[in-house]
Amino acid sequence: MTIVEILENEWFKKGYKPPRFEQADATLGDPGSVYNESWDSQNLVVEWKEERPAPPIITMNAFELILASQPQGLDLGCLFEKQTLQGFVKRETRFTSKCPATEIISKIERAAKPLGFDVKKSNNKMKLLGEKADRKGHLAFTAEIFQVAPSVCMVELRKSGGDTLEFHKFYNRLSARLKDIVWTEGHEVEETNGPVPSGR
Amino acid sequence: MDSTSKSLFIRSSSLTIGESICAVAMIPIVAVIDFLIFATTNCFRYRPQPKKCLYEFTDLTRLANESRFTVNEIEALYELFKKLSNSIIDDGLIHKEELQLALFQTQYGGNLFLDRVFDLFDEKKNGVIEFDEFIHALNVFHPYSPVEDKIDFAFRLYDLRQTGFIEREEVKQMIIAILMESEMRLSDDLLEEIIDKTFADADADKDGRINKEEWKAFVLRNPNLLKNMTLPHLKCITTLFPSFVYNTGVED
């Protein structure tokens, strides 16, 4: 019997479902497109991340951004806290940056160490502990990095120990060293080519 | 010797005539303050100042029954209320400047969040927060308060123009407000991108605004959006304001 005859035999046809082969989708796009992508630092970081498992970066929606910034007025806990004679001295400060989180972390570490701080890192949080102690104990901070948009991070520096005024002094010295990663008005001008279209 | 000391005395007393007048005037003022302090420690038994609406024990019990607070907690919150409501205008009512002072440590300035919070506390919309209103609003922030109440309060908070919808413009206004308060910068494009992303997620019917139902679903998917709607301080309010212990009509 030939194969053809077997296929046509009644016995064989009972309960027989002919196999279907999926056509592999060979249209994955133009292979040349890889060379057209803009070679900016964000992509560089993504490639590097693929080699080592990257920590998940928290991305935010508008309401999370509002809450994370802790505007005065939204935090009713203040009603219950002791009011100091000095008035309200903020225990945290924030800035935005267009650099990737990994670069921000290493820059903060490089800036804080010479100022006498021991740095511990974990995911997108850093703990900075001051080596010398004053009357209020060791100065300690946490730095946390949030992804606000694909190319923008928000960095929050919060005091977790020590004197609040010392915190502000330290922050001033630290931010002087972080000028190239902090997004200020000047940087904005570089980014756009002409007037930004307003309204939608 | 005598004449020099006498002249010294005359000279010193003439320099301090203003001060000595003050000293004389202070005595009745100090006496009044003394009386007030003594009077308010007995505020549950009689009314020393008829212009203020002072709360009787039955009012406090009623408020406790209407809320998640115990009578002792209501008493402690009354201490806080008295402190806040008499900080600028001594009338037993919280005016906007007094809420501003409590939250911003200064009675000047302010922001749109303060306006919304004050407006939500002021149920009667008469420009002042009474103790009843204070308790009703703080009740929403109690850890055991229902999530629906918190979701609803947050929605009304962000609905700046009180249209019943959270609109793009309102979200943009709020983000601009927080940027202005800090050193953070965002380009207009990025701002729009963040808002686009938020609305793509929250605005189910794509009408460009978030209604109550959409907000509820959005918050249930992102529960961290309610983190400012719970005040853990409210669970230990009686330890934060212990002076009530001397006034209490109820023993623990």
B23-62 per-position pLDDT tens digit = 777 778 877 887 787 767 655 555 444 445 667 788 899 9
Adjacent-strand bridge partners of A145: A155
What radius of gyration do chain A's Cα atoms show? 28
Residue of B77, B108, B190 best to disrupt the A interface, most CBs of A under 10 A: B190
What are phi and psi for residue A85, nearest 5 degrees? -65, -30
Residue of A42, A59, A63 best to disrupt the B interface, most CBs of B under 10 A: A63
Distance (Å, rounded) from C-alpha B114 to C-alpha B159?
A: 13
Inform me whether the pLDDT recorded for B3 exceeds 70: no
Residues constituting chain A: 200
pLDDT of residue B52: 54
Distance (Å, rounded) from C-alpha A95 to C-alpha A158?
A: 12
Q: Do B103 and A76 touch (CB under 8 A)?
A: yes
Q: Do B158 and A63 touch (CB under 8 A)?
A: yes
Percent share of chain B, pLDDT over 70: 83
Angle, CA of A29, A32 and A38, to the nearest 5°: 105
Distance (Å, rounded) from C-alpha A22 to C-alpha A25?
A: 9
Chain B contact for A90 (CB, 8 A cutoff): no
**Using one digit for the tens of pLDDT, what is the confidence trace for A166-188?**
888 888 888 888 888 888 765 44
pLDDT of residue A45: 46
Inform me whether the pLDDT recorded for B246 exceeds 60: no
CB atoms within 10 A of CB B111: 20
Residues 119-148 of A with CB under 8 A from B: 148
- Nearest by CB to residue B111, choosing from A72, A95, A152, is A72
Across chain A, which has 200 residues, the per-10-residue mean pLDDT values are 81 73 52 49 45 59 91 87 60 87 90 88 88 77 86 87 82 87 61 43
Q: Looking at the complex, report in whole angstroms how far the Cα of residue B184 sits from the nearest Cα belonging to chain A.
A: 4
Q: Do A63 and B225 touch (CB under 8 A)?
A: yes
Q: Exposed, middle or buried by CB within 10 Å (0-12, 13-18, 19+), for A153?
A: buried
Nearest to A146 by CA among B114, B224, B104: B224
Q: Do A65 and B240 touch (CB under 8 A)?
A: no
CB-CB neighbors (< 8 A) of B195 in chain A: 62
Percent share of chain B, pLDDT over 90: 61
Q: Give yes or no for a contact between B67 and B135, defined as CB atoms under 8 angstroms apart.
A: yes
Residues B180-206 have a mean pLDDT of 91
In the block, residue with structure tokens 């009512």: B93
A32 compared with B100, residue with greater pLDDT? B100
Cα→Cα distances B20→A3, A123, A200, B26, B29, Å: 127, 67, 69, 10, 15
Chain B contact for A118 (CB, 8 A cutoff): no
pLDDT of residue B91: 93
Distance (Å, rounded) from C-alpha B58 to C-alpha B183?
A: 50
Tell me the two tokens of residue A184. 């200020």
Chain A contact for B217 (CB, 8 A cutoff): no
Return left, alpha or beta for B206; rule: phi > 0 is left, psi -120 to 50 is alpha, else beta.
left
What are phi and psi for residue A84, nearest 5 degrees? -85, 155
Inform me whether the pLDDT recorded for B201 exceeds 90: yes
Inform me whether the pLDDT recorded for B1 exceeds 60: no
Q: What is the mean pLDDT of chain B?
A: 85
Nearest to B228 by CA among B132, B73, B131, B116: B116
Q: Do A77 and B190 touch (CB under 8 A)?
A: no
Inform me whether the pLDDT recorded for B108 exceeds 90: no
Nearest to B67 by CA among B147, B157, B134, B121: B134
Distance (Å, rounded) from C-alpha A155 to C-alpha B159?
A: 28
Q: Give yes or no for a contact between A55 and A124, defined as CB atoms under 8 angstroms apart.
A: yes
CB-CB neighbors (< 8 A) of B182 in chain A: 69, 93-95
Distance (Å, rounded) from C-alpha B94 to C-alpha B100?
A: 10
**Using one digit for the tens of pLDDT, what is the confidence trace for B207-220?**
999 999 999 999 99
Inform me whether the pLDDT recorded for B155 exceeds 80: yes
What are phi and psi for residue A12, nearest 5 degrees? -70, -40
Inform me whether the pLDDT recorded for B18 exceeds 80: no
Chain A contact for B34 (CB, 8 A cutoff): no
Residues B94-120 have a mean pLDDT of 91
Is the pTM here over 0.90, yes or no?
A: no
Strands annotated E in chain A: 92-97, 117-122, 125-134, 137-149, 152-161
Q: Do A148 and B194 touch (CB under 8 A)?
A: yes
CB-CB neighbors (< 8 A) of B116 in chain A: 73
Q: Do A72 and B181 touch (CB under 8 A)?
A: yes
Smallest CA–CA distance from B237 into chain A, residue: A80
Residues 223-242 of B with CB under 8 A from A: 224-225, 227-228, 231, 233, 237, 240
Nearest to B105 by CA among A42, A93, A73: A73
CB-CB neighbors (< 8 A) of A65 in chain B: 175, 178, 194
CB-CB neighbors (< 8 A) of A64 in chain B: 222, 224-225
3-state secondary structure string across B173-219: HHHHHHHHHCCCCCCHHHHHHHHHHHHHHHCCCCCCEECHHHHHHHH
pLDDT of residue A141: 86
